[in-house]
Amino acid sequence: MQYDYPNQFSGQGRGPTVCEACMGALGTCLTETIVEYAISRGIKIDTIDINLEGDLDMRGWTGISNDVRLGA
């Protein structure tokens, strides 16, 4: 998989950011856990929808503000 940043952050927009990929991995892990638990209990699942959101404060991400922790 190729990770990248959007054009606005000096990237080329060719793939998800690392944070986006981590959220996707978290959603996959949650889904697999739910499915495996349901199977072990004999519960039939027709569909699962997982929606994840994240907030990124650019002041912390870029380190331009001491009011926000680095990387926030």
Predicted local confidence at residue 27, as pLDDT = 95
Predicted local confidence at residue 71, as pLDDT = 66
Q: Distance between CA 2 and CA 17 in Å, rounded?
A: 9
Determine the straight-line distance between the first and last CA of the chain, rounded to whole angstroms.
Answer: 24
DSSP string over 1-39: ------GGGT----S--HHHHHHHHHHHHHHHHHHHHHH
> Nearest Cα to 14, choosing from 23, 24, 4, 22?
4
Predicted local confidence at residue 40, as pLDDT = 98
Predicted local confidence at residue 67, as pLDDT = 86
pTM value is 0.70
Q: Which residue has the tokens 């650019």?
A: 58
Per-residue pLDDT of the chain (72 residues; tens, 9 = 90+): 899 988 887 889 899 988 899 999 999 999 999 999 999 999 999 999 999 988 877 787 777 888 887 765
Domain residue spans of the chain = 7-60
